[in-house]
Structure 1
């Protein structure tokens, strides 16, 4: 039997109001992703990349269309149900880290575990912190960490609940090239370990080509979907 897709977007439109009239951000997006796949989404600024990720995460509701994530039509869920769904199924890595400044690295990672009711939240958080190479930074606050270290903490927090889907929005955007490569290598390593589906939003074609598929957005539409050489080689 054919496998059910873990992500299925059908005819996604998003139109926002403005003083100058309606602004069409997304104009009919259709995208299907199978479990465990990696997908890089590229496109110029304003093409709708981050908005599309927000819709997948349930942070933005489309004007029309259906959003099926891990078998759930999330556009129909209320805020409480959406929060539960994200907690159980989705990890998100943002460009700007979004760590809580008054909490230590360990506490930042433990938050989603505590919300999930895990009694071993801090033990699990310590394991994930060690997995990203920061076991010795557990008591440090974000202001005491470099940008790369903060993004490692953010990545550990995103994967600590073993989500089915990992969404990363320009995860290297605030980092230098060398540190960015380290973060990306780590992200793909954690993806492989947890067999999560990875959606990577980036402006970097070379980075996107590390994924199984490359989706190019232009003006709120999918201009092309390409199976990368990596995926072709794996299938030989």
Structure 2
């Protein structure tokens, strides 16, 4: 019996208007991802990687095509329904952290939980900070944290509601190599423990090859898809 993919993109096009004429950002993307898979999406700058992630998250609307995420057709949802859907199903980690500077680490992690009506929001947030090794930094503000610590707070926030899908856009892009490795290891440890489907947008081929599958984009198209796990098993 076949499983329904948790991410199913069919013939996704995105065309933007400009003074010089239409600009084709995505050109017929087809992509399926099964529950629990880890996907590394690579490609040169301008290939459409971040835009594709935004479409998966319902932050960007395609010009045409079908976007089915966790059984829901996002093209059928209004903005309020999309916000509720993201809150229940998707965690997002950005390259630039996007923490609220006037809130402590604990408060930043608790925000999605409070919006979801979680009565024990701060207790759950504290456990998430502990999971990323920052229990002792809960009362610190973003400006008092290093880049790696801020990204760990952002990761704890993204996972605070136990989402089905974690989307990460260049999660190590603003970090030094050693700190980036710590964040990557942490993300994969949390994935292993919780079975979260993970999609990573990255310029780092080595990071992408830690995933079960690698997708290569060029000029708004999927040019290759590798099953890394299968290659490792066969020794190819």
- Superposition TM-score, scaled by structure 2 size: 0.98
Partner of 2:6: 6
Provide closer, same or farther for how the CA distance between residues 192 and 227 of structure 1 changes in structure 2, counting only shifts above 3 A: same
Question: Which residue of structure 2 lines up, in the alignment, with residue 158 of structure 1?
Answer: 158
TM-aligned CA deviation for residue 12 of structure 1: 0.2
Query: Partner of 2:73 in structure 1?
Result: 73
Partner Cα separation in structure 2 for residue 114 and residue 213 of structure 1: 34
The aligned residue for residue 216 of structure 1 is 216
Residues in 1 aligned to 2:230 and 2:14: alpha-carbon distance in whole angstroms = 31
Superposition map of 1:184-199 within 5 A = 184-199=184-199
The 3-state SS of whatever aligns with 2:217 is strand
In structure 2, C-alpha distance between the alignment counterparts of 1:233 and 1:51, rounded to whole Å? 30
For residues 47-72 of structure 1, what are the alpha-carbon distances to aligned partners after superposition, in whole Å with 9 as ceiling and x for unaligned?
A: 00000000000000000000000000
Equivalenced residue count is 235
Tell me what 1:113 maps to.
Answer: 113
C-alpha separation between the residues in 1 aligned to 2:233 and 2:12? Answer: 31
Give the C-alpha shift of residue 235 in structure 1.
8.2
Give, in angstroms, the shift of residue 75 of structure 1.
Answer: 1.6
* Partner Cα separation in structure 2 for residue 84 and residue 64 of structure 1: 23
Aligned to 2:145: 145
Confirm or deny that 1:171 pairs with 2:168.
no
Structure 1, unpaired ranges of 5+:
none
Deviation sequence 1:22-75 (CA, Å, 0-9, x none): 000000000000000000000000000000000000000000000000000012
Q: Which runs of 4+ in 1 moved over 2 A?
A: 230-236
- The match for 2:203 is 203
RMSD between aligned alpha carbons? 1.1
* CA positional deviation for 1:192: 1.3
User: Normalized against structure 1, the TM-score is what?
Assistant: 0.98
Counterpart CA distance in 2 for 1:231 and 1:132 is: 30
Name stretches of at least 5 consecutive residues in structure 2 with no aligned partner: none
